[in-house]
Amino acid sequence: MEVPRAAGSTPPDELADAIAEHGCVIIENLADETVARAAGELERHIRQAPLGPGNFHGDFAKNVEGLVGRSAAVHDLMIDETVLALADRLLLPNCVRYQINYTGIMHLEPGAGAQELHRDGDMYPFRHPSPPTIMATMWAGTEFTADNGGTLLAPGSHLWEDERRAGAAEVVAAAMPAGSALVYLGGLIHGGGANASDRSRTGIAVQYSLGWLRQEENLHLAVPPGLARTLPDRLARLVGYDFGGPFCGFVHGDDPHRLIEDEPLGGRRHSTPELDEAAAAVNRWRWGEIEPVTKPKRAS
Amino acid sequence: MNTLATFEHGTPVGTVHEFLMEHGYAVLTATAGGRTREALAELAPHIDAAAFGHDDFLGRRTKRVGGVLAKSPAARHLALDDVVMELCRRTFLPFSPNWQLNFSGIMHLEPGAEAQRLHRDGSLYPVRHPCPPMVIAAMWALTPFREDNGGTRIAPGSHLWDHGRLPRDNEVVSVSMPAGALLLYTGGLWHGGGRNRSRSARTGLALQYSWSWLRQEENQYLANPPDVARHYDERLRRLIGYDFGGPYLGFVDGDDPHRVFEPGHAGPPRRSRPEIDERCLAIEPLRLGETRAVAAPGGAGEAVEGFTGPHIAGS
């Protein structure tokens, strides 16, 4: 059982094919300098966060969400070109616009136990396997190893039937140097590993989802208009100051992006020709028998 | 012509729900007391100030006002109507751990307004019909609705039709109802605003509800930001989205989104509520079938060019 690995220079079509087949890929040293900056900017927030109950990973773990408001370097990771090229290919067959779904630090102190294996996509009530609803990235803020809590993955499990559980032999730890990105689909069975080392392990998680689904982290509340105005425009759109599709997500009868523009609202724009055209090409899901595999979309 | 069934106030909700699921619509009389009159009075200045639509779908003699909850206390009461909430509970919980307000809007048809293209509200989401009920629309009549003033045109039963089948003339009926009455329909029902050839305006207040794990058609967080929503009661705040959409779904700062209204609260952060967890366990996950792009019936926007236009036979 292996996690496919690739260099950052690998063409996105190849990376997308690997993810479609295995449910995951490690892109080594994709953004070393940016990740180092982000880890530095987030260090204070990690230090101040409490350990203990309420966390995803238990007593020796810390979770800090709302990263958009905490680190400028993380903004660059959120709009990393390679990652967005993968989201284009893996999510756009099933939505007109994708969105950021979740931002958070997954920090494991020495002694942290392994997290229960799960599928991120389970928050939507679709039977697996289903078309990808989520594409997750886990940026290695520190090195990830098998003994410091590197993410446990069951490669290929995004195509398994709902009921099938991962056997011990089907699970492998994601090992990667700091600055790398693990990219996986919401259908992949995975979980944080146990940290048996004497150093902490820090992951920076950024997830993307189909733009017509509700976000796991409410980014309109985490990123109010005043903060959104200060962001790179691509990022402001990705957190939700954009349509999810024609007639999807408007405010005051207009494009939510207008809230962070200088022009006043009131153009009564519920869609655009570009959105309408994209919507006509998007898959429409039939509720019934299974046809789960979506081919990655090709760059045109 | 109006052959639509109308339920009197006080009809058991179970009866209304059964009819709604079978026919895709239900009309209820006089359920709101004076609330619709109050809503019309509160919203009248906003309607006066609103612009007409800039295209045929939005209506060149039609005015729309969104973000209605922030503008009208009476609309906030209507949004929580007991009968509507019970219908939502019965309709949505088999498919979603919670439900939410999806849209709020005034649809005000001035004399001369043309008929709107028929459409399905659920087509906002990339599904093929028929599909389980994702959306329920509640259209409150703030003025009387009649055939000649633009009463909503619906095709009863069409929520169960195949994706490509369009309504024919003789399958479409105009809704007539007095002010204060309520038209309910599901997101799969073909419908559209009627043509107003009368001498007075027709005003409806549309409140839509949906599964809580979908993105809202109208963004309620931006339309009702925390400093506005803090004046609402907790039930309404949770209904518009200051609540979990399911376990782990929709949190803020790793906590219940309603805690934006509870500064200085004690206790560990919450990723769910027991009631939401319980409902989640009762849901049978949805099985998805084919996922290909399909031609939208009737062309752009999946809508028919008025019901006197060309028709495509069922496919």
Give the Cα separation of B290 and A255 in Å (integer). 31
| CB–CB contact B257 A270 (8 Å) | no
| CB–CB contact B291 A283 (8 Å) | yes
For residue B288, give the nearest of A131, A249, A251 by CB distance. A131
Chain B residues within an 8 Å CB radius of A290: 287-289
Give the Cα separation of A224 and B215 in Å (integer). 17
pLDDT class for A213, splitting at 50, 70, 90? very high
Q: Is the peptide bond before A232 cis (omega within 30 degrees of 0)?
A: no
What's the average model confidence in pLDDT over B21-32? 89
Q: Tell me the per-residue pLDDT of A254-282, one tens digit each, with 9 for 90 and over.
A: 899 999 998 765 566 788 889 989 998 88
| CB–CB contact A214 B214 (8 Å) | yes
Which residue on chain B is closest to A161 by alpha carbon?
Answer: B287
Beta strands in B111-181 (DSSP E): 135-141, 153-154, 173-174
- Tokens read off for B174: 């105009």
| CB–CB contact B215 A214 (8 Å) | yes
Least-confidence region, from A135-144, A167-176, A178-187, B296-305: B296-305
- B275 CA: distance to closest CA in chain A (Å): 16
Q: Tell me the per-residue pLDDT of B250-303, one tens digit each, with 9 for 90 and over.
A: 999 889 999 999 988 877 888 899 999 999 998 888 887 777 766 655 433 333
- Residue B305: predicted pLDDT: 31
- Residue A55: predicted pLDDT: 57
- Residue B167: predicted pLDDT: 95
- B10 CA: distance to closest CA in chain A (Å): 34
What's the average model confidence in pLDDT over A110-130? 92
Chain B residues within an 8 Å CB radius of A257: none
Best residue of A46, A90, A218, A290 to probe chain B, by most B CBs closer than 10 Å: A218
Crossing angle of helices B13-23 and B82-92, rounded to 10° = 50
Percent of chain B with pLDDT over 70: 90
Chain A residues within an 8 Å CB radius of B66: 250-253
Q: Tell me the per-residue pLDDT of B49-83, one tens digit each, with 9 for 90 and over.
A: 998 887 888 888 999 999 999 999 999 999 999 99
- Residue B303: predicted pLDDT: 35
Best residue of A62, A128, A133, A214 to probe chain B, by most B CBs closer than 10 Å: A214
Alpha-carbon distances, residue A130 vs A101, A135, A287, B10, B41 (angstroms): 18, 13, 11, 43, 48
- Cβ-Cβ contacts under 8 Å between A and B: the total is 197
Residues A215 and A149 sit within 8 Å (Cβ to Cβ): no
Helix (H, G, I), strand (E, B) or coil at A271: coil
| CB–CB contact A54 B271 (8 Å) | yes
CB atoms within 10 A of CB B119: 20
State ipTM.
0.92
pTM: 0.93
